Amino acid sequence: MSQGKKIDCNVLTTERCYIFGSCSGLLLLSYIGGLFIANPVTKQFRILDHSGSKLIPTIADHKDRAMCVGFAVTRNRTTMRFKIVCILETQTLYRFEISDGYSWRLSETTITPSSKSDLTTLMKPVYLDNTLHWLRNDGSIIAFNPETEEARLIPSRFRFDHRNTLFAANENINRLTLISKTVKRISVYTLLEDSKWALAKRIKNISMDKRDIRYSNVVAYDDKCLVLREFKDIKLGSVVHVYDMETNTWRVLGAICQHATVQKLYKITPSLFFVEEDDEKHKVVVASNDQHIYLNAVLGVIDSTNYGATYIFCQPLVSSRDSMSPENEVNLSREPCYIFGSCSGLPLLYIGGLFVVNPLTKRFRLLDHSGSKLLPIIVGGDRNVAGRERGMCVGFTVNGNRTTKRFKIVCIHEMGTVYSFALSDGYSWRLSETTVTASSKSNLTVQMKHVYFNNTLHWLRNDGSIITFNPETEQARLIPSIFHQEPDMKLLFAADNNINRLILISGTKEEISVYTLLDNSEWTVTSQIKNVSMKESELVCWNIVVYDGKHLVVREMKDSLNGVVHVYDMEVKSWEVIGSTKSWSSRVRDFYKFTPSLFFVEEDEQQKVTVASNDKRIPYLTAIMGLIDTTK
């Protein structure tokens, strides 16, 4: 992450800002006596009427009750709306007031627990599974669904010091989470179906000099990273550390200026989403210039810049070399690259523009991506918004038979349990009429590349089920396969064209298992492989990166600068080292199998997009295509 931005102190000295929540890329905040929702990426904002709320007007005098405000956004094909929910606590009675941004009303739903325990002060609510959750001091939880207005008490129990505890969620496994910190270690607990907290992971706390530190607390968690803030003193300010749950390492993320009294940190996932007013009758006009100044100051601080790949290398699966050759790598520090797929010898990549290229023949074609809703979010034009973690939502297919030579780009849009698909033939984009609605919520697996198999694109979900879409027929379905991923287990979604089956590779440091998807939608073990030997003292992280039925490729990262690439021959049943990844290897996460071909999809002369010979992107494209050299 780049160094954080600061708000001009002169702008904020006279007016406090209260951030009540963040959901689907939108912030709910209060400024200059007004309540707003805002999108920091698009800089859109909308003023809301909060005069009907009993709680929100009192928060300026009772800051510790800000955690009573919940913010939920609903996004699917038919509805795009948000709800604000204020929980009202009176002894053992809980009531809920709800707003859609226009008016407020008191829900008929109430909860009366059998024992008194206050809501945990300054502990933000957690929005998971379309439900808001508030933690109580005894470890139990008040849950409220803003859509159905159903509420319940989850009778969990946990003794904790609220100053050293964080209430969060792990969306990958769809579970609520409690993070508890001591001086020596940090414990991650997961809420089970029987309402008991189970220890899921222990982390060695970062080393701190007690003479410099006044206090520290865990401020954010999202199953990939854990964020800890240590406050030194008023002069030195605070330092923010992040723990990578995959590599099991700490690093300094940034600093907070000495004047900041930071109590809340919010994770924002950038998006282009916004909820417009219904009509002009309901619209509230922002007339105050001061409100514009304040909002622009806050929204301008959020810099969602996220760079694509700056280091690309090519390595044959069969090689006698024990290290990377300089000719096999490209440094793209000035023009980051996003690779979205490779099919029939044609990679689809973004490098200042969307291109389909043939590295063997050195031909390329510029595509129009302006009609896509998803691609600008991923690459963000000049801002590179939202990063590569949603790059797996882009599918790429090539039809190369004798009568038709064309490709399709498919972007899958995930909205709760509904999946829709946007398609492009390289000239224009359109939304398919086909949708898939799953019976239960499970997110697409982040950073897990799609698999193109049997003329159909496949996306893996966290529960092991699969969303499929045929770009030609536009038929889609859900394959109800189930796979339970254990902690610290590595996964790879792939296909074996030799047996015409989808494959799931599951691995631990000791053993790698190959699962094949049967006709009954069940994953069955077809092969077990002893993992390559890795020294624990040198290991930072490892990943299963490629499988094609003949070879299995594992990347081992030894330190921040060196990685080793191992290949397992499925026929002779043996491991060998085929190469290494040098500098920037900590960012090497996406591997693509490339099969060279002479194939290319020509443009229609009437719709051809010309790239000037002096275009600044051409040297980068040439460098990438130059990696593929079949004469080596």
Q: What is 429-484 written as a DSSP string?
A: EEEEEEEEE-SS--PBPTT---EEETTEEEEEBTTS-EEEE-TTT--EEEE-----
Of the candidates 503, 504, 461, the residue with the CA atom closest to the CA atom of residue 479: 461
In this structure, what DSSP letter does residue 385 have?
B
What pLDDT is attached to residue 16?
Answer: 63
**Residue at 404: amino acid letter:** T
β partners of residue 339? 349
Q: How far apart, in Å, are the Cα atoms of 605 and each of 150, 368, 427, 608, 610?
A: 59, 15, 12, 5, 10
Instruction: Decide if 69 contacts 29 (C-beta within 8 A).
Output: no
pLDDT tens, residue by residue, 384-438: 434 456 778 999 998 866 566 789 999 998 888 899 999 998 888 999 999 999 9
For residue 413 the two structure tokens come to 């849009």
In this structure, what DSSP letter does residue 293 have?
H
Task: Tell me the Ramachandran region of residue 384: left when phi exceeds 0, alpha when psi lies from -120 to 50, beta otherwise.
Answer: left
For residue 408 the two structure tokens come to 């399709």
What pLDDT is attached to residue 410?
Answer: 95
What pLDDT is attached to residue 610?
Answer: 72
What pLDDT is attached to residue 629?
Answer: 53
pLDDT tens, residue by residue, 75-90: 665 567 899 999 998 8
Helix, strand, or coil (residue 563): strand
Q: What angle do CA 255, 250, 133 make, to 5 degrees?
A: 80
Q: Dihedral, CA atoms, 120, 126, 131, 132, nearest 10 degrees?
A: 40
What pLDDT is attached to residue 472?
Answer: 93
Percent composition of the chain: helix, strand, coil (DSSP 3-state, to 5): 10, 45, 45
Give residue 93's Cα distance to chain centre: 37
Domain boundaries defined on the chain: 1-115+271-304, 311-625
Instruction: Please identify every stretch of the chain with a pLDDT value under 50, giving residue numbers as ranges.
Output: 1-13, 258-260, 262, 281, 287-291, 303-308, 310-311, 318-327, 381-387, 583-588, 631
What pLDDT is attached to residue 121?
Answer: 85
Of the candidates 474, 473, 472, 340, the residue with the CA atom closest to the CA atom of residue 406: 472
Instruction: Decide if 473 contacts 461 (C-beta within 8 A).
Output: no
Instruction: Decide if 360 contacts 630 (C-beta within 8 A).
Output: yes
Is the pTM value of this prediction over 0.85?
no
Interatomic CA distance for residues 165 and 177, integer angstroms = 10
Interatomic CA distance for residues 355 and 346, integer angstroms = 10
What pLDDT is attached to residue 614?
Answer: 80
Q: Give the DSSP per-residue string, 72-134.
A: EEEESSS-EEEEEEEEEEETTEEEEEEESSS-EEEEEEEE--SS--PBPTT---EEETTEEEE
In this structure, what DSSP letter does residue 14 have?
S
Instruction: Decide if 467 contacts 412 (C-beta within 8 A).
Output: yes
Instruction: Decide if 504 contacts 496 (C-beta within 8 A).
Output: no
Instruction: Decide if 89 contacts 62 (C-beta within 8 A).
Output: no
Place of tokens 């290991």: 539
Helix, strand, or coil (residue 314): coil
**Residue at 613: amino acid letter:** S
**Residue at 449: amino acid letter:** K
Helix, strand, or coil (residue 143): strand
What pLDDT is attached to residue 212?
Answer: 63
Interatomic CA distance for residues 37 and 42, integer angstroms = 12
Instruction: Decide if 272 contacts 373 (C-beta within 8 A).
Output: yes
Helix, strand, or coil (residue 297): helix
For residue 129 the two structure tokens come to 């599974």
What pLDDT is attached to residue 405?
Answer: 72
Q: What angle do CA 53, 59, 61 make, to 5 degrees?
A: 130
Interatomic CA distance for residues 29 and 23, integer angstroms = 12
β partners of residue 241? 228, 252
Exposure string of 566-578, with b = 16+ CB inside 10 Å and e = fewer, is bbbebeeeebeeb
What is the architecture of the domain spanning 311-625?
Answer: 6 Propeller (2.120)
| Residues 6+ away with beta carbon under 8 Å from 552 | 505, 512, 514, 529, 544, 546, 567, 568, 570
What pLDDT is attached to residue 274?
Answer: 73
Interatomic CA distance for residues 210 and 207, integer angstroms = 9
What pLDDT is attached to residue 45?
Answer: 82
Instruction: Decide if 200 contacts 487 (C-beta within 8 A).
Output: yes
pLDDT tens, residue by residue, 109-166: 999 998 889 998 888 999 999 999 999 999 999 999 999 999 999 999 888 776 788 9
